[in-house]
Structure 1
Amino acid sequence: MSNLFKFFTPQDKKFHPLFEQAGSNVLKISEALLAAVSTSDLAKRKEIFKEIERLEHVGDDITHSIFLELSKNFITPFDREDIHALASAVDDIADYIYGTSSRLDMYKMDEISDPIVKIAEILVEMCQDIDKAIKELRSFKNIRVIADACVRINSGENQADYVFTMAVARLFEYETNAIELIKQKEVLQMIETATDKCEDAANVLESILVKNA
């Protein structure tokens, strides 16, 4: 019956393209953050921070478009609450990546610690999987791709959490400058939260998979 309903349901031309744009955009913004924290060229880093801000605004526009379509369309490719939850989760990732870059810029943190770079690397891998999984939502022909991506995203969040915990422990053990400690901890918290939001997106993807596969 479910397959019959899908057969007679018009091909979605609104939500899937928007979600694919959102997945591509969140991957771009994660890659930009990694580029920013990996370079020692401060002028180049400043330019990348501006690009991250632009990409965050692009993400906001895509999310707004998804919500607008949700309010106008009765027939949707999957549950309305899952559409809202996935759009919100992907938007949150971009928000926390932008929050990380804006704090690095605002706090004038010229020296980027290894844990921040490591979490940024993990974040890119997680966003690659989100982008890959979202593309598979269009047809559900290869559900293993979505399932495997979700497993890797959950594993990535665990890795990022471990890096964060160890980094904060070292800060409290060795950092004697209280202001520097606060700045470092806040940036670490911000970028680690971005990985939490990736896990939130993976949870929604798993929910969609269970309901539609």
Structure 2
Amino acid sequence: MRTRAARTVLRTVGGLALAAVLGYLFYLGGQGVAAKSPAARPDSFAAIVDAVKPAVVNISTTQAVERRGPRGADPYREFLERYFGEGVPREEPRQSLGSGLIVEPEGYVLTNNHVIEGARVITVRLSDDEEYEARVVGRDPRTDLALLKIQGRRRFTAVRLGDSDALRVGDWVVAIGNPFGLEHTVTAGIVSAKGRVIGAGPYDDFIQTDAAINPG
């Protein structure tokens, strides 16, 4: 899938701005109260990346998918089905990847519902490559949001969620995530528009950005 530069949109739900495919956007608006030049831009995003990266996690899931092959592909199974019927579905594991954001030091992770939907096993990998299993605390398919709990007793680096209502068109945006499994990829852009209505769901209020965002 191509990068949707200049047309990528983010859904705003309950005052949160959650990237639909990358995990989470960190907004850098309001850094210059009286910017004298519209060309003013930060020398580097390294400081914000260093501060936020430990809270951005890679989420991998394992699902069981029913699969039926063509006739003749498995003679042994056809022999069993001839006598015992087709009541036993054939299941094969399928793995998927996504991103998440630690929002509480106790290990609560905000991610997208489609990342963990139907998952039997959920594994969270931190920026230091430590891995933990996680469980689903709650999810909302309508808004494509899910909350996970890391099964670990340590305290984790977390970030404070921002106020999307305070965003202004033209504010800087930094996106950190795991597109196509490439961990902790960083891109930057600006808020291109607010309040976009595109007919995509029950809460059709999007923030548009030109930051490059890919699935994962």
> Normalization by structure 1: what TM-score?
0.24
Higher helix fraction (1 or 2) = 1
Higher strand fraction (1 or 2) = 2
> Normalization by structure 2: what TM-score?
0.23
Bigger Rg, which one: 2
User: Higher relative contact order at CA 8 Å, sep ≥6: structure 1 or structure 2?
Assistant: 2
